[in-house]
Amino acid sequence: MKLVLREANHNVRGKLDETDIAILRLLQSDGRITNADLARKVQLSPPSILQRVRKLEEAGLVDRYVAILSAPRLGYHITVYAQVSLQLHQDKPIEAFRQAITTIPEVLECYHVSGEFDFLLKILVEDMNAYEALVREKLSTIKGVGKIQSCFVLGTSKHTTEVIL
């Protein structure tokens, strides 16, 4: 396996062999899998698996390992997708918004998008009162915000973090 180390926008998917793909699939479904179990499932020795996993990590194919928490069990019952339009569409207001949004912990994801609005935010809050306070005290106070449109998640049919391999 020869992987090119981290380079922005460098696609190495076509350079992965079947074993690399199997390793990545297993890691996506269970990031806590032991090296021994991973080795057994791909039918390689534990030292070989460890070496391959390290190369995949060094190549930037494994971004990080995380635990996915149960938001409702922790008291977060409302997921909102907020569409944000800026008053000006210039580099400085866009970058200022990007920087400001990183300081708001309720914002789980922020995408700069094309279309009728400029940013799409995924927000997780305890309840409607918390969302109202977030909009009033944090989002609407960011300089340059023109309009905020909210879409509330009523239910989830599919949720995955796995990338297609």
The pLDDT assigned to 5 comes to: 52
What the chain holds in terms of domains, given with CATH numbers, is 1-68 (1.10.10.10), 72-152 (3.30.70.920)
8: pLDDT strictly greater than 90: no
Q: Averaged over 40-55, what is the pLDDT? A: 97
Condensed to tens digits (0 to 9), the pLDDT of residues 103-128 reads 999 999 999 999 999 999 999 999 99
Q: Enumerate residues 6+ apart whose C-beta is below 8 A from 88.
A: 144
